[in-house]
Structure 1
Amino acid sequence: MADQTPAGAANAPTNAATPPSYSLVGQYTRDLSFESPGAPGSVLLGGANPKFDLGINVGVKKQADDLYAVELNIKAKAERDANLLFNVELVYGGVFRLKNVTEQQLPGLLMVECPRMIFPFARHVLATVVQLGGFPPLMMEPVDFTALYLQNLKAMQAQQAPAATN
């Protein structure tokens, strides 16, 4: 996989002046579940457009000094007239090697840039599984991981605020 460093930086000596970089070491599917309890009837029935419920979360776990596993946890459910058409859950991850990244840069890189890099692959897995289940492929819109990160940061700060006043 491509290292995200500027051209010529690979030959530079490793020191504090070396710019931060990250590279994707590998990708994996840790968990995948697809349920269509009404099949084959749900595939054959037409009707109104289904109602979709879609959620995505990002998780990070340090593997070694410079290796991190970044996982996207995606859940999608489709219902029509209170009947479950399908429910799919996917945990898709990437292992990233980080070099010369400061503590201040770490959260943004792991919670925004790394998920952004693996998201298209997770979206492809999700679309393919739904299509193999007999439905049109579920094509997720691109995710604004910066907004998701900031939203989660605000929620964590709000939870910590009442504890600080006690």
Structure 2
Amino acid sequence: MADSETKTAATPNGSVPPTPQLRPLGQYIRDLSFENIVARKPISGEVKPDVSVQVSLDAKKRGDNDQYEIIGKFTITSKNKESDDTLFVMELEYGGVFATSNVPNEQLHPFLLIEGPRQMFPFIRRIVADVTHDGGFPALNLEPIDFVSLYRQGIAQRQAAAQKSEETPSA
């Protein structure tokens, strides 16, 4: 069997470029809302929950140094499959402040919006599980999120919107 060597691309002068890093400086709940609809309006019959999760991400620079704030907005809605009645709605804005180093400018946007949320996700998942449990429902353990696909999807949506606005004649 071959040795478990890690191959690293070297620069033309033979040196290995420094590894890009994203170091968390702090994480926090920016906003949290949980609405238990069932507590106000009881639902009769069998309940088969259907949960939808919507995620949006944003990043912005903080000051003159290499610090960035990344905000993940999660809207989680649970409805009864049988009647389409809403069971609960949870909205969570979770933020993190990160320091970057060795990240080329052309790679900064995807690096922040993929790696930052990936580091924050275990904490977000725990908050969602605790709040749904404390709200009177079984703990909701979010499935892992593919932040690379989510980033690509966002880029494709922005490109489609830009093309549509170019095609629309102005009055």
Query: Shared topology, TM-score over 0.5?
Result: yes
SS state of the match for residue 136, structure 1? Answer: coil
CA shift, 1:107, in A, is 1.5
Distance 2:114 2:45 in 1: 39
Aligned-residue RMSD, C-alpha:
2.0
Give the match for residue 118 of structure 1: 120
C-alpha deviations, 1:26-69, integer Å up to 9, x for none?
10000000001331764x96623112221111111211221111
The equivalent residue for 1:129 is: 131
Q: What number of residue pairs does the alignment pair up?
A: 149
Alignment correspondent of 2:95: 93
Contact 2:22 2:115 in 1 (8 A): no
Higher gyration radius (CA) = 2
User: How does 1:1-166 map onto structure 2 within 5 Å?
Assistant: 18-39=18-39, 42=42, 47-64=46-63, 65-80=65-80, 81-164=83-166
Runs of 4+ in 1 over 6 A off after TM superposition: none
* Unaligned runs of at least 5 residues, structure 2: 1-16
| CA positional deviation for 1:143 | 0.3
Distance 2:70 2:60 in 1: 7
Distance 1:109 1:88 in 2: 27
